[in-house]
Chains A and B, each alone.
Chain A
Amino acid sequence: MSVAALLRHRDAALALIIAALIGAIGLRAPVFVTPESLTGVLTDTSFLFMLTLAQMAVILTRGIDLSVAANLALTGMIAALASRAAPGLPVVGIIGLSVALGAALGALNGAFVAFVGIPPIVVTLGTLSIYRGVIFLIAGGAWLTSKDMNTAFLAFPKSTLFGAPILIVIAALVSLFFWALLNHSRIGRGLYAVGGNPVAARYCGIDLRVQQFLVYTLAGAVSGLCGYLWVSRYGIAYTDIAQGYELTIIAACVIGGVSIAGGVGSVPGALLGALFLGIVVNALPVINVSPFWQMLISGAVILGAVVINARSERRTGKLILRGARTTDKGARA
């Protein structure tokens, strides 16, 4: 396959790069490519898989949700507090509570974006501070450790289903849900339409406001689910968990080919973007590189990815507008 053909199959190219990356790491540290180690990488990355998909749905509508990590931390803290207050509460109940709570927090974003008409970046910047502050308030600044959580609460993320870690199973189910939603449902196709051309979407009878409200609520629900899983997996809840994770999630989207301008992005692409970052994070200690390098590498990768995205997007743009020149390309923010 020629380079140009690969560029057109962006997901395939990214998958090849990831395979090469795994191979290169394997050459230096064969222990990394054992099934156990790779399963560990997938388990570690499951949060990023789910949150990247949720963020992609938001970005498809030309929005952005900066509050997902704060939402995760808040629902995680409330799940831990609820479990401490009512040790008899089954894990299913905790998960239901977390998803509902996360969805409610996301719906708050959605209401301001969709029905008041405040720009998403402003709303979610505000709720980001609010949610973080509320964690401090409700916990009184305290840390909840595994001693405050009961065994069932802690055991669930470490359990397995059909031999696979439950976190991977949940991430797979969430991915399947997003794939069905985005590719095979009226609502999902509407998200692409709204992001691709809001005016045309409106003439097709798609209500932008309903779409926006739905995606922010959905992003909240996924954050809530991850909130419980995060806190129970790491056995700790405090104000700053997952601080700055929202930017890692957006980075995964960008690497996965999701266009920040909306309307472009696929489930496999987003998953590969998340996997790429997950591998980088997990491989550094294995090949004896200081974890301090992690930030620098992800920064360089994000920049590389956007530059490549921009070139491939320009190419398709010319194909559609045959002969016409996209003069406004550089002027658009």
Chain B
Amino acid sequence: MSLSDAKPSPRYAVADRAPRRLSDFLLRWETILVVLLIGVVVVNALISPFFLDFYNLSDATFNFSEKAILALAMTLLIIVRDIDLSIAAIIALASLAMGMAAQAGAPTLALIAIGLAVGVLCGAFNGALVTGFGLPSIVVTIGTMSLFRGIAQVTLGDQAITKYPASFEAIGQGYISDRAPIPISFVLFLVLAVVFGIVLHRTIIGRKLFAIGANPVAALFSGIAVNRIRFWLFVLMGLMAGLAAVLLTGRIGSTRPNIALGFELEVVTMVVLGGVSIAGGAGTILGVALAVFVLGLTTFGLSLVNVPGIVISILNGALLIVSISAPVVVSRLLRGRT
């Protein structure tokens, strides 16, 4: 933000080559997150004897898998300097569409298709407004957030839709098999994380995203179709929101106007804690995945010892600010300037 910080802090440095020295490796943001994650696991295991239980840990992933899936697509958007604050509202709208279809007796496969399609349409709407009119995405998505959730609210009023086929609910609530009780939603997240990681870090598309984030004008002049890529990222974000809507609606078995309320800020927290620069141009999927676990396991561990969710949010907020300030402050102290 300020003009003086020409030197990038360790979390936003994009390495041109693999780190060679030990200090390079230790100062990588992902390393700091791993240390943080180990700390969270150790502290939680000490606090509660039930923490390190396979079935408990496995079930704990239910609570953050939907947000984690959203965080993957949000990572790409933030890397190209965009943001989507309407994701939770897209979930509400997609959930509403699925609920209405379910009431009309649609089968599970149709419900999934409808949820994903609504997500894609909403994402395309965001993308068209942002790239077509050249509007700042934060403002557009604050607007569409009200619009999408407003539609859900007008349609549902104070009602809730709770009639869903059992096979649909099984997607959000179920495990991949009886012998391996790992939630489907968590496995989906892991698979998607690998796909997103490969695309972002090992393909030309990924390099283009970093180029756009680092300097959109230079990217445009070097022949990258900046706006087309940004548009499709919004569509992708919408698709992931649709997927999260399928999982969440199935898991809680109901659609209310306030479904997924506040998800957008939690997802942005995951991404930023994961080391993605909010100014664009830097970040890794590995970092975001680690941040997902840090936040998810902190929440799970504390709720095991009956800490209310709202108090956990203090810790998450502090974690966000301290973990991002600490490297800046430490490196300044090491350099001996204020």
Across-interface contacts of A125 in B (CB, < 8 A): 265, 268-269, 272, 317, 320
State whether A294 touches B142 (Cβ < 8 A).
no
A201 to chain B, nearest CB (A): 9
State whether B216 touches A333 (Cβ < 8 A).
yes
State whether A116 touches B143 (Cβ < 8 A).
no
- Asked whether B13 is an interface residue with its Cβ less than 8 Å from the other chain, the reply is no
- Asked whether A302 is an interface residue with its Cβ less than 8 Å from the other chain, the reply is yes
Across-interface contacts of B2 in A (CB, < 8 A): 114, 117, 208-209
State whether A331 touches B227 (Cβ < 8 A).
yes
Contact A199/B217 with A136-B308, A292-B154 known, Cβ cut-off 8 Å: no
Question: How many residues on A have C-beta within 8 angstroms of the other chain's C-beta atoms?
Answer: 62
State whether A122 touches B278 (Cβ < 8 A).
yes
- Asked whether B325 is an interface residue with its Cβ less than 8 Å from the other chain, the reply is yes
State whether B5 touches A310 (Cβ < 8 A).
no
A296 to chain B, nearest CB (A): 3
A157 to chain B, nearest CB (A): 27
Partner of A118, one of B227, B311, B318, B321: B321
State whether B272 touches A298 (Cβ < 8 A).
no
B125 to chain A, nearest CB (A): 10
Across-interface contacts of A331 in B (CB, < 8 A): 212, 216-217, 219-220, 226-227
> Which chain A residue shows the least CB distance to B269?
A125
State whether B308 touches A296 (Cβ < 8 A).
no
Q: What number of residue pairs across chains A and B have CB atoms under 8 A from each other?
A: 182
Across-interface contacts of B227 in A (CB, < 8 A): 330-331
Across-interface contacts of B80 in A (CB, < 8 A): 333
Contact A133/B314 with A118-B328, A333-B136 known, Cβ cut-off 8 Å: yes
- 6 residue pairs of the A-B complex, CB under 8 angstroms, read A121-B268, A250-B142, A292-B157, A296-B153, A302-B142, A329-B134
Chain B positions within 8 Å of A, measured between CB atoms, are: 1-3, 5, 80-82, 129, 131, 133-140, 142-151, 153-154, 157, 212, 216-217, 219-220, 226-227, 257, 265, 268-269, 272, 278-280, 308, 310-318, 320-321, 324-325, 328-329
Q: A137-B314, A299-B146, A332-B216 are in contact. List 7 more A-B contacts (CB 8 A).
A: A125-B317, A132-B313, A133-B313, A208-B1, A292-B157, A300-B150, A328-B220
